[in-house]
Amino acid sequence: MTTPAAEGLHMPGEWEPHARCWMAWPCRPETWPVPEEDEEVDRLEAARAVYAEVARAITRFEPVTMVCDPDDVAEASLACGPGIQILPIPISDSWIRDTGPSFVTGRNGRVAGVHWRFNAWGGNYPDCAKDQEVGRLVLEHLGQERFAAPLVMEGGSFHVDGQGTLLTTEQCLLNPNRNPSLSRAEIERHLRDFLGVSSIIWLGEGYQDDETDGHIDEIACFVRPGVVLALTTDDPTDANFKAFQDNLDRLKKARDAQGRELEVIPIQQPARRDQNGVRLTLSYTNLYVANGGVVMPAFEDPADDEAYRTVRRAFPDREVIQMAALDIVRGGGGIHCITQQQPLGQGAAG
């Protein structure tokens, strides 16, 4: 079996030109639990409203295709509006960063997709059969080549710089609930083969109570080659303090695939907020980089303003849009988790 790397393909950085953004319409009520303090609140409907807002914000910069379960086509179309393409595909949940394909590119504008195996974040949910096929169906719709990876993986568990470096966490990729028969070296080999990277930077633990077991997009992201935005806290009593300090230390000691030291931009996490006794993963690194823009979260927190200024400085050549994201986070993810960029190239018109 051939691999993307063997054919000269690699995953580009998220800031490189896109053909479009992919999203998936919320459809699973269990993902959006009713708050114990207010049983009248419909979290699913609130999530749908914010997904539509995010989609409309991204259309200012690039086209958006919203995958949606066939039963929800009319509602999704009405909520999103005429500028957003609706694509009926059977889905179990709405985190397309994790269920959709990871796109790779090569010479002459060639674009293909990596289709990972998916087991609902280590078996968190039993009904993920539809989502196991989303990557394949998206690529069939596009008429693009598919590389089926022999690895349980989610797109939110890694971040690349487009120049050979991948950032991930030990907590997630080495978790026995994903690929228990594979060693660290074997997992690294698959990452090199299917994403075209040569250097892997391992952070340790992710965000407290992250049900994805430490996805990287909740704690850090590349903003360009050699530069990483990393979530931090100055509060030594916070449960994230030790893990975040360890991650910062690892980043400062790391070298990327080009041999460069990393510039690390710290960004303070907002105050803790719980839902039904579980901490919400409120993270400013969970953002989407679009063509000429960045869509980032706000959490009705005093840290929102400084986070906005930090992101603006990190992306000086892009317009930054900050939008309320609590109704996304209540489902277990963020803006990066609900989006997936499709790079510009052959077959990319969709």
Instruction: Quickly count: other Cβ atoms within 10 Å of residue 261's Cβ.
Output: 12
What one-character-per-residue DSSP string does 207-248 give? STT-TTSS-GGGTEEEEETTEEEEEE-S-TTSTTHHHHHHHH
Give the residue carrying structure tokens 């704690």.
219
Residue 180 is part of which domain span?
5-343
> Does 348 fall in a domain?
no
The DSSP 8-state label assigned to residue 301 in this structure reads S
| Whole-angstrom distance, CA of residue 137 vs CA of residue 278 | 34
> Does 12 fall in a domain?
yes
Domain count, the chain: 1
Kindly give the confidence (pLDDT) of every residue in the chain, 350 residues in length, as a single tens digit, with 9 standing for 90 and above.
799 999 999 999 999 999 999 999 999 998 987 776 666 678 999 999 999 999 999 999 999 999 999 999 999 999 999 999 999 999 999 999 999 999 999 999 999 999 999 999 999 988 899 999 999 999 999 999 999 999 999 999 999 999 999 999 999 999 999 999 999 999 999 999 999 999 999 999 999 999 999 999 999 999 999 999 999 999 999 999 999 999 999 999 999 999 999 999 999 999 999 998 899 999 999 999 999 999 999 999 999 999 999 999 999 999 999 999 999 999 999 999 999 999 999 754 44
29, 6, 10, 60: which is closest to 345 by C-alpha? 10
Given the residues 68, 172, 221, 337, select the one marked as catalytic.
337
Strand order in the sheet with 293-298: 288-290, 293-298, 319-324
Question: Within 13 Å of residue 66, how many CA atoms lie on the same side as its CB?
Answer: 30
> Does 58 fall in a domain?
yes
> Does 267 fall in a domain?
yes
Domain of residue 145, CATH code: 3.75.10.10
> Does 222 fall in a domain?
yes
128 is catalytic: no
Residue 168 in tokens: 């991930």
Instruction: Quickly count: other Cβ atoms within 10 Å of residue 8's Cβ.
Output: 12
> Does 349 fall in a domain?
no
Please state whether the predicted TM-score (pTM) of the whole model is above 0.85.
yes
> Does 170 fall in a domain?
yes
Based on its alpha-carbon atoms, the radius of gyration of the chain, rounded to whole angstroms, reads 19
Instruction: Give the β-pairing of 274-275 and 278-279.
Output: antiparallel
Burial label for 283, CB within 10 Å (0-12, 13-18, 19+), is buried
> Does 174 fall in a domain?
yes
The torsion defined by the Cα of 183, 339, 255 and 267, in degrees rounded to 10, comes to -120
Instruction: Quickly count: other Cβ atoms within 10 Å of residue 25's Cβ.
Output: 28
Helices (H) and strands (E) in the chain, counts: 10, 18
